[in-house]
Amino acid sequence: MKPLDRSLLLAGCLLTAPCALAQSIAINDSAVWHEEHWLYDGLTAHHSFFTCRAAGDTVISGNLYTKIRQLGVDSVSTLGSSQPPTAQPLDRYLGAIRTEESTRTWHVRLNGYPEDLLLYDFDLQIGSSVLGTFGDCGTGLTVTDIDAVMVDGNTRQRFHLNMPGRFIIEGIGGSAGLFGQLCQLFEEFSCLHVYDEPDGSLVVDGCGSLSTGIEQKDDAALDRSVFPNPTHGPLRVTGAEPGAQVVIRDAMGRTMLRERLGPNAALDISSLSAGHYVLRIGTTSVQVVKE
């Protein structure tokens, strides 16, 4: 964007609509994206719940990147089969992101790819196109509106696209997930549920406008480190020590429970209303469904 264009845009925001000055687009070292993904490959259906998290720095061709790692569970089933889905753990390096503050862009070097791809352009205004960014699928979505969201005490611009429920958030990514599709395809699409930083969370609900046709029985794909999940009340957290502090937030990002794990790493959430929650221990977060 030219300097004059930016000045006019900011002036217009101040006079006519809520707006936020551009923030740094650097990736927080402790950033976590909680996502959901669907993939259809012939008669095989994948339904995954996972986190993408910053996993330290690396240098590629003399440039500094932030590595991204995926952890979660993929529920694999056969369309038309009566057999229950099988759970496959996800724990892999996806790629690395390079941020350019001068151009306000993110570039990704995907695992196994020989060169960078443009992942996000955060230097946008109403009418700007996202054509050419990874995952746009050649549809050339455009920005129709700009507002702001808060995360970790910072204001971030949110760019709404001309597809229902789709948007990009400055320095965070898109409603379709960190590496998700910006255009909805039957074969493959994904969404971001919650974005976490050390002192704050942003509930994104990127799946809010999707119609997937997948039955809720696939909830069995939720992270097996917390079980039973879904639950009526009692939980056990594997890999956590008794006495570890647990924080549970609701879909609005509000803290609903803050307790320490009891004997056998157990936790009672029977006091919570039915719904979806995010359970956090230290820097680890998983989704929990209370029935």
What's the CA gap between 34 and 280, in Å, rounded? 12
What's the CA gap between 145 and 126, in Å, rounded? 6
Identify the band that residue 69 occupies on the pLDDT scale cut at 50, 70 and 90: very high
Decide if pLDDT at 20 tops 80. Answer: no
What does the pLDDT read at residue 211? 46
Across 44-53, 127-136, 158-167, 282-291, least confident range: 282-291
CB atoms closer than 10 angstroms to residue 22:
17
Task: Give the highest mean pLDDT range of 18-27, 96-105, 109-118, 230-239.
Answer: 96-105
Domain 222-290 has CATH 3.30.565.10: no
pLDDT, one tens digit per residue, over 146-157 is 999 988 788 999
Identify the band that residue 249 occupies on the pLDDT scale cut at 50, 70 and 90: confident
pTM for this structure? Answer: 0.67
Q: What is the DSSP letter of 272?
A: S
What's the CA gap between 139 and 159, in Å, rounded? 17
Decide if pLDDT at 95 tops 70. Answer: yes
Domain ranges across the chain: 3-217, 222-290
What's the CA gap between 249 and 244, in Å, rounded? 17
